[in-house]
Amino acid sequence: MTTPLDGKIALVTGSTSGIGLEIARQLAKAGCRLMLNGIDTPSMVEDAISDLRATGADEVFFSDADLSAPRQAARLIADTLDSFGAIDILVNNAGVQHVAPIETFTDENWDRIVEINLSAPFRLIRQALPAMRANAWGRIINIASVHGLVASRHKSAYVATKHGLVGLTKTVALETAAEPITCNALCPGFVRTALMESQIATQARTGSMSTEEAAESILREKQPSRSFIAASDIGAMVTFLCSEASSQITGSVFTIDGGWTAQ
């Protein structure tokens, strides 16, 4: 039996753990060959590759391109083309966060977040499009955030870059609208990743409460479902947006946020 994306080549950034790994897992189940990318430890990279091979991925490669450096985006695309000869799917998932009031937000933190969350996706899209056009097919999916649509205090760089990523998505969609290439964005709410665990730990510490009480407090403030978003739901949506059923969906922004932006 063939799978929906049999033989398609997918590059997923930030894919050796968390949401990115689950996206890669879902794409592997759909038949994709995969290029992983991340800055995790060698053992985590090996675990991720083993996981995906066990899931059914025929070919899995890894590039350690560090997207905090401007020239590394080009290297990541080159690594993918050297390994597979093509790129069909680009998922811009890698992202970083820093929480601080704007008056104490350093230039260093601002620049790093802008580079990874917004400039790297721009550069990767720019480099990947010629390969997609050569194949006459492509899917670009940007993992933004609910913070690409609304703001929260003390997250100036994150909110600015995620809003920018939504705008970039729409622009790329318009520039490729007459071609068999689509570009869409996903805006998840709170997912219980390592990044989220750090925020929960901080809330628990400052509020003198347990970890689970802190998690419930964070959800109660923003996410009406009072449940964390499952990474598998994000992966499933990515897979759908890569399918032929989504060929006329482009420039769209999808929330997976437990009702956050409905308020």
| Euclidean distance between CA atoms 127 and 74, whole angstroms | 7
- Per the annotation, the verdict on 17 as an active-site residue is no
User: Under a CB-based contact definition with an 8 Å cutoff, are residues 31 and 6 in contact?
Assistant: yes
What's at 233, amino acid-wise?
Answer: D
User: Which of 94, 88, 55 is CA-nearest to residue 72?
Assistant: 94
Helices (H) and strands (E) in the chain, counts: 9, 7
DSSP secondary structure string for all residues of 119-178: IHHHHHHHHHHHHHHHHT-EEEEEE--GGGTS--TT-HHHHHHHHHHHHHHHHHHHHTTT
Among the listed residues 62, 158, 190, 260, the single catalytic one is: 158
Query: Annotated active-site positions, please?
Result: 158
